[in-house]
Structure 1
Amino acid sequence: MKNVLQTTMLLTVMAVLLLTIIVPQKTEAADSLNIMADAAILVDADSGKILYAQNADAPLGIASMTKMMSEYLLFEAIEEGSVTWDQEYLVTDYTYKISQDMTLSNVPLRAEEKYTIKELYEAMAIYSANAATIAIAETIAGTEAEFVRLMNEKAKEFGLDDAKFVNSTGLNNDHLMGMHVEGTGANDENVMSANSVAKLAKILLDKYPEVLETTKIPNKVFREGTEDATNMLNWNSMLPGMPYAYEGVDGLKTGTTDFAGHSFTGTAKRGDTRLIAVVMKAVDNEGAGSYKARFDATRALFDFGFSQFTTAEIIPAGYQFKGNETLPVTKGKEDEVNIAVKEPVTMVVRTSEKDDYTPELVLDEALMQDGKIEAAIDKDKVVGTVKLAMKEGTDYGFLDEKSDAIQVVTTEKVERANWFSLSMQAVGGFFGTLWTGALDFVKGLF
């Protein structure tokens, strides 16, 4: 009997283990991705939907990923007409000295020489040239100090609340030969969270997608044909033909300092899907940072995004909420009004989870009075939004929470009742209240 009991227990345990192995765990793939970096994030570039996040809200060093903000401000200045591509910059003592430090990423700038903004921009975007970036900052704002003020101001405008810029390049201030911005520390460095870096990248790509025409160039010669000719090999080794090439990669910006480690903001497009991946202070299996480590981490994110996710319709147009198909109306010719989701809702989701989202109605309480909406009411009046709740698993939301606003609207018009009808409603309401009060009084007698 004892042996039979032991055998039964053993078979039960084996069956449970077998079921654990066979039954798929929906959240396991995301949870076990375990990118070897201090922080990481993967985002759908079109919608801003976050597909994966790891310590993404922690402010960390960003090094030359800083230059995405410098690029944005340059494109903005070009658009506004305050700077032109063929405008010439006269090298200052500051940019000359920094450009001669070849331990940094630089193209040599000659003292008192003139360079066009276009060639300085290419040096910045392709080769992460630091003195060229400072030259652009001085052209736009007069001084790097003023440019840094513009960077921080723009960060606030974009909602990058954890961003702190102390220079235009992403270098540690210690590399600026004592010429760093007044009021910043000698060893200060620019910081942002992975979430904010991804948001900045999306904003740059949304507003100025032409930046990719330059960031996708694998190499270009600076000042070709002169004694200062410099082969600018793109630091983004995931571009086609490069050591860590990945299909669809065409940007965006690397960053490396002792403080920031090996970091990268990459973007890749396949079909209609573009992804943005950010890895910060990536390391290998031995815990050592390297260029390979940051590209391996980015590859893992891209593989996850392109293989596991799809664009799916979560809610059809005209969807109505069971039990909330209408809203009660006051002072109208009708007592209620139909409501529904205005547009079909499509979203990038994990293929295995596309049926796991439950729509929940969130009414705009500011429109409601005692649970009713007052007439007159136009068709397509926004009365609320939809919240998408997952049955299980992790939903990381959007870079911009406003992107998650799915409108619920009225599907018909309800006119306001005329003065006579309103008077009758008021009288009816008065007697109804009186009758209810009388009933309550009588009930109280017994």
Structure 2
Amino acid sequence: MKKRTVLLKMCLLILVVGYFSGLFTTASAYAQEDILTITQNAGYQTNELYKPKASIVIEEETGQVLWADNPDLKWNPASIAKLMSVYLVFEAMAKGQFTLDTTVKATDNDQAISQIYELSNNSIVSGVDYPVRDLLYATLVQSSNVATVMLANLVTANDEARFIHMMNDKAKELGMTNSTFYNCSGAETGSFNGYYKPAGIDQNADNVTTARDLAILSYHLLKNYPDTVTYTSPTQITIMENTPYAEVLENHNYSLPGLAYGYDGADGLKTGSSPTGGFNYAATAKRDNTRLIEIVLGVGNWEDQEGELQRHAFGNAIFDRAFATYEYKQLLSKGNNTINNEEIILEQDFYGLIQKNTEPAFTLSANNLMMDNGLAEVSPTLQTPSVSFKYAKKLKALQNSVLTNTRKKKNALSTFFVNGLLIILGLLFAALSKLFKKGTNRPKKFNPLFTLGILFILTGIILSLYTVVIGPWI
């Protein structure tokens, strides 16, 4: 009895110790992945008050996610919304609507907006012609609300509401499933004192998006319009040079090299802050062949302006983590390669994202080679990187081609053949049962041949229906 009691106590002790060990292990694992701990370990002075509400890091070529913390939390991006407006401006130029040298004549409304103290702006004078190039710098370097409005009006011929609808349509097209825009600049339209008032749009609503959606937007912006970084990278620039309206613009992205939180390789993208959104940050940096994109949302609160600097500490820290862990590089060369014991010929060099100090794992599917690195794309609309190949041996190549093109057809034909054979066998057994019945004088209550025939016929019919509705079962 005593032995049993001792054993029970020992088992209970082991369970208790195991339970609390699990808790501590889980807490430790979480702490290793916690953005606050990562930032503090990187040497930045920060605390829980400034911890971001959401963040994400993706690789620019593949769109694969390297870090994510609450990436689908809905949030007010503030001036980061200007990236969507800039996307539509670049798209309009790509369609030939206007060029960087096209000028926009400032209106009385534009001048009035530029003088609203509460809004981030640059100086605009009514009647003066401002080149699109300079308005882009004003939008992305100075975060000018009036410059953004002027560009939006250029795209839609002063149809303010239409531009908002274009922003939302583009968001859906790009796969930004949790985003809704109510203004073009990140400042609610009610703060423009009536000088900017898109018809039918809620004047007091904030734009809503997520870290994931902003990463998707930034991915497509840099992929389709790589010159974007030309307008996001200057720490200081003079617009309207050699005119009476020359103006020096200062960048508030303090992670640009040379500024307070200068980060090696950083060349964009946009900051944003507001009373409801706190301090936000969309960034990109490139080192060697690897370009990363990150979004940091909800650092601190509007009352404490220290958050304007703290967002860069968090952004730099998770950039460090991602750059130290992953790299985008050439993994295979064009031409002959041996993959999974198969001799293949690649049509072009194959690049991919891989964890440092590891060997890539490849899969061959039909005529495409892919790499499995265990990372998911930021959006289901993005495809895993792949490259076309041919088998080096002619016989193998021929077999693969025939197999790829005729597999479904062969399977369907084979299935219907077997289904038909089952029905024919069933009919044969049923006929034989009749013959045997005629050859004997004693009636039988149970005829095994007839029963077997019916089973074959029913099986053939059911499998035929399955083949038509679902597909070949062989």
1:264 to 2:281 alignment: yes
Q: Name the one with the larger helix percent.
A: 2
Paired residue secondary structure (1:221): strand
Paired residue secondary structure (1:132): helix
Matched residues in 2 for 1:416 and 1:161: separation?
A: 38
Structure 2, gaps ≥5 residues long: 1-6, 40-50, 390-398, 431-446, 453-474
Structure 1, gaps ≥5 residues long: 321-340, 362-378
Which shows bigger deviation, 138-147 or 221-230? 221-230
Alpha carbons of 1:117 and 1:397: their partners in 2 closer, same or farther (altered >3 Å)? Answer: closer
Paired residue secondary structure (2:184): coil
Q: CA deviation at 1:402?
A: 3.9
Selected match of 2:401 from 412, 437, 442:
412
Paired residue secondary structure (1:299): helix
Selected match of 2:168 from 152, 158, 175:
152
Provide Cα deviations, 1:225-273, integer angstroms capped at 9, x if missing partner.
5554432111111111011100110111111111221101100111111
Counterpart of 1:403?
383
Which shows bigger deviation, 60-69 or 141-150? 141-150
Which shows bigger deviation, 170-179 or 244-253? 170-179
Selected match of 1:255 from 272, 279, 282:
272
Counterpart of 2:183?
167
Which shows bigger deviation, 299-308 or 26-35? 26-35
Quick check: 1:398–1:404 contact (8 Å CA) kept in 2?
A: no
CA RMSD, Structure 1 to Structure 2 (Å): 4.8
Matched residues in 2 for 1:74 and 1:115: separation?
A: 15
Larger C-alpha radius of gyration, 1 or 2? 2
Quick check: 2:55–2:211 contact (8 Å CA) kept in 1?
A: yes
Residue identity matched to 1:85: L
Q: CA deviation at 1:301?
A: 1.5
Residue identity matched to 1:348: L
Quick check: 2:77–2:186 contact (8 Å CA) kept in 1?
A: yes
Alpha carbons of 1:103 and 1:352: their partners in 2 closer, same or farther (altered >3 Å)? Answer: same
Which shows bigger deviation, 105-114 or 32-41? 32-41
Provide Cα deviations, 1:277-311, integer angstroms capped at 9, x if missing partner.
00111129x99761112111111210111112245
Matched residues in 1 for 2:378 and 2:267: separation?
A: 23
Quick check: 1:281–1:289 contact (8 Å CA) kept in 2?
A: no
Residue identity matched to 1:403: Q
Quick check: 1:58–1:194 contact (8 Å CA) kept in 2?
A: yes
Counterpart of 2:147?
132
Alpha carbons of 1:60 and 1:360: their partners in 2 closer, same or farther (altered >3 Å)? Answer: farther
Selected match of 1:348 from 324, 347, 353:
353
Residue identity matched to 1:113: V
Q: CA deviation at 1:64?
A: 1.0
Q: How does 1:242-391 map to 2 (within 5 A)?
A: 242-283=259-300, 290-311=307-328, 347-348=352-353, 350-351=355-356, 380=367
Alpha carbons of 1:25 and 1:133: their partners in 2 closer, same or farther (altered >3 Å)? Answer: same
Residue identity matched to 2:193: M
Residue identity matched to 1:307: A
Counterpart of 1:331?
none
Selected match of 1:61 from 68, 71, 76:
76
Alpha carbons of 1:204 and 1:441: their partners in 2 closer, same or farther (altered >3 Å)? Answer: farther
Matched residues in 1 for 2:320 and 2:414: separation?
A: 67
TM-score with structure 2 setting the length: 0.68
Q: Percent identity?
A: 26
Q: How does 1:105-254 map to 2 (within 5 A)?
A: 105-143=120-158, 144-178=160-194, 179-224=196-241, 228-254=245-271
Q: CA deviation at 1:67?
A: 1.2
Q: CA deviation at 1:351?
A: 4.8
Counterpart of 1:77?
92
Matched residues in 2 for 1:280 and 1:405: separation?
A: 29
Matched residues in 1 for 2:352 and 2:77: separation?
A: 30
Aligned residues: 391
Quick check: 1:50–1:399 contact (8 Å CA) kept in 2?
A: no
Matched residues in 1 for 2:282 and 2:386: separation?
A: 29
Alpha carbons of 1:91 and 1:350: their partners in 2 closer, same or farther (altered >3 Å)? Answer: same
